[in-house]
Structure 1
Amino acid sequence: MVTCLSKAMLCRAVVSCWEPFLRLALMAVFVSSSLGCPARCECSAQSKSVMCHRKRLLSIPDGIPIETRILDLSKNKLPAVNPDDFSSYPQLEELDLSGNIISHVEPGAFNSLLSLHSLSLRGNRIKLIPLGVFTSLANLTLLDISDNKIVILLDYMFQDLHNLNSLEVGDNDLVYISHRAFSGLLGLETLALERCNLTAVPTEALSHLPNLVSLHMRHLDIAALQPYSFKKLFRLRHLEIDSWPSLDAIPSNALHGLNLTTLSVTSTNLSAFPYQALRHMPYLTHLNLSFSRIRQVEGGLLRELVRLQEIHLVRAQLVSIEPYAFQGIRWLRVLNVSHNHLDTLERAAFQAPEALQKLLIDSNPLVCDCRLMWLLQRRHSIAFGDTQPECSTTEGVHGRPFREFKESLLSYYMTCTKPRIQENRTQTVFVDEGRPVRLPCTAEGTPRPMVSWVTPRRRLLTSKNSGRFMVHANGTLEIQVLEAHDSGVYLCVASNAAGNDTLMASLVVRSLGTRDRSLYANRTSQLSTDPSNATANATNLYNMTFGLDLKTILVSTAMGCFTFLGVVLFCFLLLFVWSRGKGKHKSNIDIEYVPRSKSDGGSTDGAEQAGPHRFNMKMI
């Protein structure tokens, strides 16, 4: 037993002593298996790699070991890739040919590289990749053909790359991608299309990528997204649209069918938040719409994005984020609205402000008043990033970072004043039908009050309205073409965080006939609501009421006479019809009677001879 243990210990000692020599022997075998390491290249026996980066090689060097798995020939002067150039290295797993002057790759050039899983042809001068170039590369997972001169991707050019996971085809002169160019790429998960001459999304070509997860489309001159631009990409989770300067809108059905978790639409010409396009994305967690022209985030239109966690709107020209803008988003953790034109961010904008962990709101002209009180109270629990937000107005706090505010002074500086409308009495305005009118309503307060109007029919008018009714920035309501039913009492409401103030204006619209309009055309004008012009208004009203000429009087008299005669005739007609409806009746009544004899026993002969008596009665 002791003998066996001693022998084992002796063997271990011998192996430990000879281990360095064994490694040197293996390296010698690796180098001597071919012609040794190529001149000017660096070889590693441990990783079985040959690095010939930036060696000014004009062709593939001799002496590359057969067992090489990693071969770097980047930044040289190789002009082409011909068949059998790599047939002597069947164990190659990574091949880097980027940064050469390769202008063409012959079909079958990589046929012997059955173990290859990474191939880079980036930064060459390839104009066309013919069919058959990638034949036999069934194990390839990464292919980079970007930064070349490729104009078109042919049908079925990648059909043998069943296990390809990532494909880079950007920085080319691509003007067209054939409908079946990506056919066969059943395992592709990441595709980058950037800096090309494409003018439309290659929808049909992309539909052959059922397992695509990430799509990056950057620096393209695509002006519009067509309906269902990304159809059949059911597993797509990350979509990046960056630097499309001509894109100014996203149609409601452009992203239909996608179940994205990350959407980035940056450096575009978008002028409005794409609410409708995002409605059907309940799994969206990250949204980036930075570097655009979106001026407003309206309230209550993002409620369906219930899983949203991050929103980025950097340099989006934001002017306001309305209350309830993020209603329904309970898990919003990060909001980046830096470098915009926001003067405030109210607590009412958030569904769950306590969930907010990071807020980047620097480089905005913030007005430090009561609307920002909630944010200053949480300034120690919310991360503001590297740059602290500052107050741009209010004496005493101008330019002061949020973290320097003392708790005891918050109530002193963070104040608001209730709105006050300058004109405090009811206005009455008389205007002819068809003319425009302006009803002023100027309000003061801190913060600046928002002015809205309520019509006699209880319709709310704000600055968003367009058409006949417009509310200007100074609060004035303009009705461009008055109609008779516009008459009534209009209510101006000025409101801010501290309260509201109201003012009523009575509008009387005079409805005139066609003939009357021609008579009054030179005499009527819109009445001013300025009290200083009261005398002029009274004069105009007098002229409009009593300024009648002889022709007008004669016409009015004639019309009155005709009306009176018509009424009289109508009354006679009614009497005639009434009398006729009572039936026939006589004005005289004849009554006959036989006089009675004076004695019963008297003879009746005389009476009979005399006959009956008759008399006449007239009805009055």
Structure 2
Amino acid sequence: MVDCISKVMLHTAISCWQPFLGLALVLVFVGSALGCPARCECSAQSKSVICHRKRLLAIPEGIPIETRVLDLSKNKLRSVNPDNFSSFPQLEELDLSDNIIGSVEPGAFNALVNMHSLSLKSNRIKLIPLGVFTGLANLTLLDISDNKIVILLDYMFQDLHNLKVLEVGDNDLVYISHRAFSGLLGLESLTLERCNLTMVPTEALSHLHNLVTLRLRQLNIAVLHPNSFRKLFRLRHLEIDSWPALDSFPADTLQGLNLTTLSVTNTNLSAFPYQAFRHLPYLTHLNLSFSRIAHVQGGMLAELGRLRELHLVGAGLLAIEPYAFQGMRSLRVLNVSHNQLDTLERSAFQAPEVLEKLLIDGNPLVCDCRLMWLLQRRHSIQFGEAQPECGTPEGVRGRPFREFKESLLSYYVTCTKPRIRQNKTQLLFVDEGQPARLYCSADGTPRPTVTWLTPRQRHVTYKSSGRVAVHASGTLEIKVSEVHDSGVYVCVASNAAGNDSLSASLAVKSLGISDRSLYANRTSQYYTEPNSTATNGTNLFNMTFGLDLKTILVSTAMGCFTFLGVVLFCFLLLFVWSRGKGKHKSNIDIEYVPRKSAGAAAEGAEQAGPRRVNMKMI
């Protein structure tokens, strides 16, 4: 009975006090609002205090203790001390960006054990001493970019075991200590940009075993060394952007990486780094835009079988050769816009039917039979926002692909077979050591490519280099002729419509030993530029002659040895002949009649008759 009465009384009391409890909650909320710092905006629901762009000179008073989000960006704060945030243990996000902070003292964030985001971006910090980040064990994002930091010291991030994202770019960095990133066991994303680094901090990066994304932008690095990114076993996304001094990509630079995305843009690369990419079988996205890559050769990218997107925008491309994308069965997107391509043949692709998007606008395209496959697919393939247009021939210049009528394709999109001009067999005689030129030029649509076949069955093209080369005009040049260069050469001019050929014979005359010596030491003239003068003010003009002392001595010695050898051979021959005849007469009688001559003496001699002479063999 007593228990029942107690319960009834308790229920009655609660019912009576409910209005008062509601009023108390309202008062608490009002109290929180009244505790918001002047000129700041507070939210009781999100427990945030926003003091953005309030021209504050110091940390404002009246910030609620339970604040979780504090925004003090774009003010006039000059420093951060340990006492500034010790009263807000529940703080999770702190934004101090765009102030004039010049120093952050060690222990400034010791009490903020729950904080997971800290931004010190766009301040005037020159050095972050050890101990500044002590206590931030749960921090996941740290932004110290756009400051005046010159060096990253060893172990300065060692307490940030759970940090995921680190932004360090846009500083005056000249050096990163080898152990600066030690302790960042969970770091997944790192950005280094707009600083004074002259080489990749390989040793420092090697401590980031869980790094997934690395961005290196606007750096003055000219050389990439082999294994520049070693020990980054989990790196998947690498971005190298705006390195104007970078002109080569060594083969072993990316050794040991399993990248899926690689971007090397705004560089001075002049050749496609085929060898460097052979170690990347899992690559799906490749961007080499805004470089100086003129050609994509055939059959060099076969190991990138998983590549889905390739971007070569504004790279100065002149040609994509047949079989350039051989082996790339997964290629879906190709962006080669704003280059100098005149065509893109179907034979460049391993599987052209799977190509979904082709950006080829901004190229001087020649709409001939080589582009027929693309024009036939113009309604099923995506060209992006800008439609590709024909540059030539005249009848379709400026016409977008989608405006072509099916019935007109066979009329405009044609090719003509090559025809070699002056198609007559050439016969050329040259001396050994002299240059030789065989001419071959051809007409056709598209412009034919000229290839020469040597007597030794070697193919020489425009890209060949060395002693034997082909000029852009089709002329074959042998810079220094040799005897074995003699033979029949075949010029082959070919394009998509067919080919034409021409034979040319070359005969190289061999020189003697002395002639070769003279040729090896042939007369040469050296002179300076017209502006160059000697001490007396006259132009320098020096001549060296091939008949030097060494040449004369060698030639004389060889002549003497030859003469002595002939004389010795004759004596031996006579000796053998004489021995082979056995006994012989030692005396020989010779009878002769003197020649007639004018005068009495001659008549007297004729009357005397023939004369006899006796000779004795010694």
TM-score of the pair, normalised by structure 1: 0.81
Question: 1:230 and 2:229 equivalent?
Answer: yes
Deviations 1:331-356 (A, max 9, x none): 10000000000000000000000110
Give the conservation status (yes or no) of the 8 Å contact 1:31–1:37.
Answer: no
Structure 1: how far apart are the matches of 2:160 and 2:410? 67
Residues 375-424 of structure 1, C-alpha deviation per residue, up to 9 Å, x if partnerless? 00000111000000000011221100000001111111111111111121
Partner of 2:317: 318
Shift of 1:103: 0.3
Q: Which residue identity lines up with residue 220 of structure 1 in the other structure?
A: L
For residues 519 and 313 of structure 2, what CA distance do their matches in structure 1 show?
58
Give the Cα separation in 1 of the matches to 2:517 and 2:130: 82
Q: 1:254 to 1:519 in 2, by over 3 A?
A: closer
Residue in structure 1 matched with residue 537 of structure 2 by the alignment: none
How far the C-alpha of 1:29 sits from its partner, in A, is 2.3
Cα distance in structure 1, aligned partners of 2:360 and 2:575: 85
Q: Which residue of 1 aligns with 2:301?
A: 302
Q: How big is each residue's C-alpha offset from its partner over 1:52-93, in whole Å with a ceiling of 9 and x where there is no partner?
A: 000001111111111111000000001100012111111010
> 1:34 touches 1:63 (CA, 8 Å); kept in 2?
no
Cross-structure match for 2:72: 73
Structure 2 CA distance for aligned equivalents of residues 271 and 417 of structure 1: 33
Q: What is the 5 A alignment of 1:183-222?
A: 183-222=182-221
Distance change (3 Å), C-alpha of 1:520 and 1:234: closer
Deviation at 1:191, TM superposition (A): 0.2
Quote the Cα distance in structure 2 between the aligned partners of 1:110 and 1:50.
Answer: 18
How far 1:32 moved relative to its partner?
A: 2.6
Q: 1:491 to 1:25 in 2, by over 3 A?
A: farther
Moved over 2 A (4+): 24-35, 514-521, 560-577
Q: Per-residue deviation at 1:227?
A: 1.1
The answer to whether the Cα contact below 8 Å between 1:34 and 1:64 also exists between their aligned partners in 2 is no
Q: Does 1:334 align with 2:333?
A: yes
Is 1:61 paired with 2:55?
no
Pairs within 5 Å for 1:56-455 = 56-455=55-454
- Once the 2 structures are TM-superposed, how far is the Cα of residue 574 of structure 1 from its aligned partner? 8.2
- Residue in 2 that maps onto 1:595: none
Give unmatched runs, 5+ long, in structure 2: 1-10, 521-561, 583-618
Counterpart residue identity of residue 147, structure 2: N
Please give the per-residue CA displacement for 1:214-264, whole angstroms capped at 9, x wherever unaligned.
Answer: 000000000110111000000000000000000000000111111100000
Residues 48, 69 of structure 2: 8 Å contact kept: yes
Structure 2: distance between partners of 1:575 and 1:501: 67
Given that 2:161 and 2:185 are in contact with CA atoms closer than 8 Å, whether structure 1 keeps it comes out as yes
Q: Following TM superposition, by how much is the alpha carbon of 1:437 offset from its aligned partner in structure 2, in angstroms? A: 1.2
State the superposition RMSD in angstroms. 2.8
Q: Deviations over 1:497-549 (max 9, x none)?
A: 0111110100000111144579999xxxxxxxxxxxxxxxxxxxxxxxxxxxx
Q: For residues 509 and 477 of structure 1, do their structure 2 counterparts lie closer, same or farther at Cα, with a shift above 3 Å needed?
A: same
Structure 1's 156 and 504: CA in aligned 2 closer, same or farther, altered over 3 A?
A: same
| Structure 1 residue 465, shift from structure 2 partner | 1.0
Change (3 A) 1:570 1:171: same
1:230 and 1:563 map into 2 onto residues whose CA distance is 71
2:51 aligns to what?
52
Amino acid corresponding to residue 505 of structure 1 in structure 2: A
CA distance in 1, matches of 2:330, 2:25: 58
Structure 1 residues 518, 247: closer, same or farther in 2, change over 3 A?
closer
Whether the 8 Å CA contact 2:32–2:44 is kept in 1: the answer is no
Normalising by structure 2, report the TM-score: 0.81
Structure 1 counterpart SS, 2:241: strand
Distance 1:27 1:172 in 2: 49
